[in-house]
Chains A and B, each alone.
Chain A
């Protein structure tokens, strides 16, 4: 169980706004976060990971990640994070990107096989296609066996065929590693396919809708 009760001032394209979140996340939830650009979806993920500061508290199981007295450093949160722009380490090859996180060769091999990129192990990451890069980024995010996986529009830079293929992979990884996953997406089909809960970020507030409502809203 993750308890999030936080506030964050946003200075975005929509002007000054307070993002307020008071939500509970259950273990093994797959939550897709939707909403307009600039609503604060990415900020929410970044605050959870510790990449940005916010007021309030984040409690994960029994561990306090943030409250009024302390903030757990990013390094100690053991969060898997996938960026929209992959953010691979350009000075390392595919395998080195994974082993940089954790020297577990067996896990690296398993993940590369799962992502169907074991043949690219020694390839310089700068020469990979977008789909290949995102698969490496996903595999890298799982190298510390995180209990919480955060993904910021991980599929938006990919073509529709690759999007579909990777969203299946994400579903598989979520189950296999028994993770709780929060993913930002603008794609309704992706949300319907992956999530058991949908959050909408609107005017600084987070509201929850079930997938049936989404069905009703978008057909």
Chain B
């Protein structure tokens, strides 16, 4: 019998990460797309760091920051009673850092390719920046929005290095699907590893196919392809 708990944990982690990142990254991506501030390249570079950093480097720093000996770790434990190392909560925090660029960049690109006059027309109609973002900008970048949500979700499901360093492999708590496969290979349970890996492969493909099909449909609707 296959233990599906690692998959459930992976999806729970990805779902929560996507939800949190959407609310954090949306205003950030909007601001980055609209600003002429000199701090923009600095913030863009900072946001993109998780793409180029080895997961072990990111995992190491997160481990240091989140550990109960750090100021942040102590603060979280004293105030909320939350431990962030080798716990599911810690995994969510780490995933939010790790997957940040996958949410920010598609949204920012979408906003930047929007017709600038459309945004200005909303301001001229007396609408605030927040209302313009919600009612004009966001509905007009649906393909970018879907890409951001799905890729963030899929990328978090596929996390390995950071998850292993910050969460370890505690069954039912931090042992997500990718870590479970790694452990099966380590103990040479190739049969089980095959099944787990195949499930991940098929799910990932279906998720990506959904994104590309939707985007293709959107583009043909407005006559680009």
Residue B37 is within 8 A (CB to CB) of chain A in the complex: no
Given contacts A81-B121, A83-B121, contact A75 B128 (CB under 8 A): yes
In the bound complex, what is the Cα–Cα distance between A88 and B140 (angstroms)? 11
Contact-size category for B: 10 to 19
Smallest CB–CB gap between B11 and chain A, Å? 30
Residue B139 is within 8 A (CB to CB) of chain A in the complex: yes
Residue A147 is within 8 A (CB to CB) of chain B in the complex: no
Residue A143 is within 8 A (CB to CB) of chain B in the complex: yes
Residue A101 is within 8 A (CB to CB) of chain B in the complex: yes
Residues of A within 8 A of B120 (CB): 51, 74, 81, 83, 87
Chain A residue, CB-CB nearest to B139: A91
Chain B 69-123 residues near chain A, CB threshold 8 A: 115, 117-118, 120-123
Given contacts A75-B128, A85-B115, contact A91 B123 (CB under 8 A): no
Residue B135 is within 8 A (CB to CB) of chain A in the complex: yes
Residue B126 is within 8 A (CB to CB) of chain A in the complex: yes
Residues of B within 8 A of A79 (CB): 124
Chain B residue, CB-CB nearest to A141: B124
Contact of B118 among A51, A80, A90, A126 (CB under 8 A): A90
In the bound complex, what is the Cα–Cα distance between A39 and B65 (angstroms)? 55
Contact of B124 among A74, A85, A89, A90 (CB under 8 A): A74
Residue B222 is within 8 A (CB to CB) of chain A in the complex: yes
Most A Cβ at <10 Å: residue of B117, B125, B139, B140:
B125
Verify A100–B124 contact, CB threshold 8 A: no
Residues of B within 8 A of A100 (CB): 122, 125, 127, 135
Verify A75–B222 contact, CB threshold 8 A: no
In the bound complex, what is the Cα–Cα distance between A91 and B138 (angstroms)? 10
Chain B residue, CB-CB nearest to A80: B124
Most B Cβ at <10 Å: residue of A75, A78, A101, A140:
A75
Residues of B within 8 A of A141 (CB): 124
In the complex, how many residues of chain A place their beta carbon closer than 8 angstroms to a beta carbon of chain B? 24
Smallest CB–CB gap between A125 and chain B, Å? 11
Verify B136–A81 contact, CB threshold 8 A: no
Residues 133-145 of chain A: 1 if any B CB is under 8 Å from the residue's CB, otherwise 0? 0000000110110
Smallest CB–CB gap between A211 and chain B, Å? 29
Contact of A78 among B122, B126, B139 (CB under 8 A): B126
Most B Cβ at <10 Å: residue of A91, A101, A143, A144:
A91
Verify A101–B140 contact, CB threshold 8 A: no
In the bound complex, what is the Cα–Cα distance between A46 and B120 (angstroms)? 10
Residues of B within 8 A of A144 (CB): 125-126
Residue A151 is within 8 A (CB to CB) of chain B in the complex: no
Smallest CB–CB gap between B85 and chain A, Å? 44
Residues of A within 8 A of B125 (CB): 100-102, 140, 143-144
Residues of A within 8 A of B140 (CB): 89-91
Contact of A75 among B117, B126, B139 (CB under 8 A): B126
A-side residues, CB < 8 A to B, are 49, 51, 74-76, 78-81, 83, 85, 87-91, 100-102, 126, 140-141, 143-144
Listed from nearest, the 6 A-B pairs whose CB atoms lie closest are A87-B117, A91-B139, A101-B125, A74-B123, A87-B121, A83-B117
B-side residues, CB < 8 A to A, are 115, 117-118, 120-128, 135-136, 139-140, 222
Can you list 17 A-B contacts (CB < 8 A)?
Answer: A74-B123, A74-B124, A75-B124, A80-B124, A81-B120, A81-B121, A81-B124, A87-B115, A87-B120, A88-B118, A89-B122, A89-B140, A90-B118, A90-B222, A100-B125, A140-B121, A143-B125
